[in-house]
Chain A
Amino acid sequence: MRNWLKKREFVMLMMLVVISLGISLITPAFLTPSNLLSIVMNNIILAIMAMGMTLVVVTSGIDVSVGSQLGFAAIFVGLVALLPTANIFIVLAVGLVCGVLLGIFNGILIAGAEIPAIVVTVGTMNVFRGSLLLYTNGKWVTSLPAWYTSMYNSSVLGVPIPIIIFAVVVAVTYYLIQYTRLGRSVYALGGNPVAASRVGINTDKVLLFVFAYMGALTGIASILYGAQLATIDPNAGTSFELTVISAVVIGGASALGGSGSLLGTCIGVLILGVLQNGMILMRVEPYWQDVVMGLILIIAVSVDVLNNRKKEAQKKTIDVAKAIKGGVSA
């Protein structure tokens, strides 16, 4: 299908391939199985959260509190893991519940009180982080038990656990947005909010769900976070929200709402991950990394804007059958 080639995801995929080839020409160490796996493993947390952020951006919302949510949930997961009676299931439940509650808090203010998402989440970003620092007094959570930290590097049937968790998140999210009324309502709300409520969609409920889901995925990410690093800083995740949002936008979700796909977001995450990894391998000064990431974001969005202008001119017309019974001939 030629349509497939025109898809935004395909363009981004090509961009990813070009970047990867470029890097592998400079440093042979890049294109090795172990390095590629490490790129994936190092960006699982980003990818999981970006799945949730895709839905948020589709509603034309934004959530800048996810970095703070990540730190908040990670600390509580860590503290629970230190309890003698804890096991992996309790830890999972705590991470999930903690994330969902923080997400619902955002969602109630955004959907219920109708405060713009950017305002609410800038506020909660500070509230979450501040209360976390108050509670921990700035102290790290350390010496996490091995049964917890080993989770990150163990495998089931040769597949690392983080990748399995990510696969489950993708599958659930894909099912949600593709095969459920709720998921399609998220897109409908983003495409035309007035029409959405006119066709009977409870837009408040949809918004509340989207922010709660964002929180749930952040909660899951927080479990992996503690397991990966073995110590948890109460400042964990600071400004991570910007990376999450960048990945989603590079992946093609429009900030105006209505569009955004899981595949696109995955490619967005990989572009960021590959660039970062490549620049480390090429020993580029770390300050350059921020500059390059920022430029990639701007380039990706500019390409979109230009493409949309072109598309405007090539809209299709429906052919209507010449002879409808009794119809006027045209």
Chain B
Amino acid sequence: MASEYIVNLKHISKTFGGIKALNDVSLDIKRGEVHALVGENGAGKSTLIKVLAGVHFPDDGAEIYIDGERTVIKNPMDAIRKGISVIYQDISLFPNLTIAENICIGNDTVWKKHLNWAEINALAEQALAKVGAKIDPAMLLKDLNLASQQIVAIARAISFNSSLIIMDEPTSSLSAGEVETLYKIIETLRNENIAVLFISHKFDEIYRVASRVTVLRDGRYISSHDLAAVERQELIRLMVGRNVEYLTMKAERISEQQILKVNRLCKEGNFYNISFELRKGEIVGITGLVGSGRSEIAKAIFGLNIPDSGEIILEGQPIVIKSAADAVKHGISYIPENRQLEGLLAKNSVCQNMTLAVLDEICKYGCIDTKKETAIAREYTEKLDVRPRDIDKPVGQLSGGNQQKVVLGKWLATNPKILIADEPTSGVDIGAKIEIHKTLRQLANKGIGVVVISSELPEILAVSDRILIMHRGNIVSAMNKEGATQEAILAKALGA
């Protein structure tokens, strides 16, 4: 007798470099059900599906049952052979191979030492037919659009006789029509008794396709429910964490003087009709789900993403920003989301990194004035309390929190009027987070207008004076710090 459950996970923990991404998580998926997995950004959803997919190996003590039997998933191919397939957001197949090859690669029944194309194409056609897809399997995958590549990935999962297909935010880049097609395919899968684990931020979708839901928060299992028996508000309440205690710091004095005004900024596919203002000494927080357009706005103000229309007004004067250099000239600084990739030269010293944005000032006749350079670096390592106080140390050897301080220092050296920080505390520990919050508040108190973008709600609540909430490219709500709660913010961000 087959078990009622196709997959049971118990006591799943996963530690990365001392940080627990998953902490004693369990998940039970019934045969043939569509199960939604929800949680805020960083709740551990991605790590959990990677454990199921065999990409990450869980810490000791984990128990994985497939069809009621205890098992170990050794690697990604092992997961697929045991009936678990994952459709990643970026598809993660082979653009340069044919549709048939993408479906059959690694499938022992046809992927033999010597290939028989008739066999391969037949298996692929059979799998495509099961989802109702009509396409020549000899076409190259790269000639299909993303939604169609996703269908190929699903056909691949079917041809491996998967009993569980995991879909990681499958609708995030699909049009409305394509989403309907996907629903139709999910319906087909359910009729074939194939379970689907559906990861999504969109509540409309979850209520439409899924029958049960599991909530994760901060790497922990919170609860599972029948969707028929749980209200949206309740789900939102469960997703929101309260266990992080940040210091809430009030603004000393917000002047009436407007420093930045953004007026009806639009960029097709990114954000629409964005208007907000920033006053001297104020911290404005922008939050929303990943992909809601938060970072795109920051990049637009900093000249890295040229908007289609709208205006940016700096201290009462409309300005044109066509490049990052323009933005810097106008006193705008930007700390990017990914400091490793965009913000820091990891192999260069603290000193060289800190003076990177002010090279013009420290240069005399094209040569760097090392006295000036060290003076600037010393000044900001002191001010920001960068540890260790060794300005010759390569930045890559500093802790995450101290790296972020170096990025801050780099921009403070330019004496900015406006500082935009995109996820300033991602990947740093709680102590360093509070330090960075304090620094941002000090800067605001000195009269700099600060914009903080964060998907961590407790952080947004702790640092901002005003909170703008984005959903699908629009600012759907603006809240004052007083009266804003995590539940209210998340509800708006989810479009509820």
| Residues of chain A having any CB pair with chain B under 8 Å | 178-182, 184, 187-188, 190-192, 194-196, 198-201, 258-259, 311, 315-321, 324-328, 330
Contacts of B147 in A (CB 8 A): 317-318
Q: Which B residues lie at the A interface, using CB under 8 A?
A: 55, 75-77, 80, 92-97, 101, 105-106, 111-115, 117, 128, 131-135, 139, 143-145, 147-148, 151-152, 177, 180-181, 183-185, 187-188, 191
Cβ–Cβ contact B95 & A330, under 8 A = no
Q: Would B105 and A199 count as touching, CB distance under 8 A?
A: yes
B180 x A328 contact (CB < 8 A)? yes
A320 touches B106 (CB 8 A): no
- For this complex, 14 residue pairs linking A to B, each with C-beta atoms less than 8 Å apart, are A179-B117, A181-B111, A181-B113, A181-B114, A187-B94, A188-B105, A198-B77, A316-B139, A316-B143, A316-B148, A318-B152, A320-B134, A327-B188, A330-B184
Q: Which of B95, B106, B180, B181 contacts A191 (CB 8 A)?
A: B95
Least CB distance, B435 to chain A, in whole angstroms: 36
C-alpha gap A266/B353 in the complex (Å) = 50
A191 and B97 contact, CB distance less than 8 A: yes
Contacts of A327 in B (CB 8 A): 132, 184, 187-188
Report the nearest B residue to A3, measured CB to CB: B139
**Given A184-B105, A199-B106, A321-B132; A191-B184 close (CB under 8 Å):** no
Query: In the complex, which residues of chain B have a beta carbon less than 8 angstroms from the beta carbon of A191?
Result: 94-97
Cβ-neighbour of A198 out of B76, B96, B132 (below 8 A): B76
On whether A316 and B94 interact (CB within 8 A), knowing A324-B184, A326-B191, A328-B184, the answer reads no
- The docked-state distance in angstroms from the alpha carbon of A201 to that of B184 is 33
B95, B105, B145 pick with most chain A CB within 10 angstroms: B105
Smallest Cβ distance from B90 to chain A, in angstroms? 10
Closest to B179 in A: A330
Chain A residues closer than 8 Å to B145, beta-carbon distance: 315-317
Contact between A317 and B148 (Cβ–Cβ < 8 Å)?
yes
Nearest opposing residue in chain B for A260, CB measure: B96
Which residues on B sit within 8 Å (CB–CB) of A187? Answer: 94, 96-97
In the complex, which residues of chain B have a beta carbon less than 8 angstroms from the beta carbon of A201? 106
A192:B94 contact, CB within 8 angstroms: yes
Central interface residue in B101, B115, B180, B183, by most chain A CB within 10 Å: B115
Q: How near does chain B come to A136, taking the closest CB pair, in angstroms?
A: 42
CB neighbours (8 Å) of A319 from chain B are 133-135
Q: Which residues of A contact B185 (CB under 8 A)?
A: 320, 324
Cross-chain contact of B184 among A184, A196, A200, A320 (Cβ < 8 A):
A320
Q: Give the nearest-CB partner of B132 in chain A.
A: A321
Name the residue of chain B whose CB is nearest to the CB of A179: B115
Contact of B151 among A195, A311, A320, A324 (CB under 8 A): A320
Quote the shortest CB–CB distance from A290 to chain B (angstroms).
Answer: 32
- Bound complex: CA of A330 vs CA of B148, how far in Å? 16
Complex Cα spacing A316 to B101, Å: 18
Chain A residue nearest in CB terms to B94: A191
Chain B contacts of A190 at CB under 8 A? 96
Query: Distance (Å) between the CB of B259 and the closest chain A CB?
Result: 40
Alpha-carbon gap, A90 to B88, bound state (A): 53
Please name all residues of chain B whose beta carbon is closer than 8 Å to the beta carbon of A192 when the two chains form the complex.
Answer: 92-95
Query: Which residues on the B side are within 8 Å of A181 (C-beta)?
Result: 111-115
Given A316-B148, A330-B184, A321 and B134 contact (CB-CB distance below 8 Å): yes
Q: Contacts A188-B105, A199-B105 known; A330 to B177 CB distance under 8 Å?
A: yes
- Nearest B residue to A175 via CB reads B114
- CB distance B94 to A326 under 8 Å? no
Closest Cβ–Cβ distance, residue B205 to chain A (whole Å)? 13
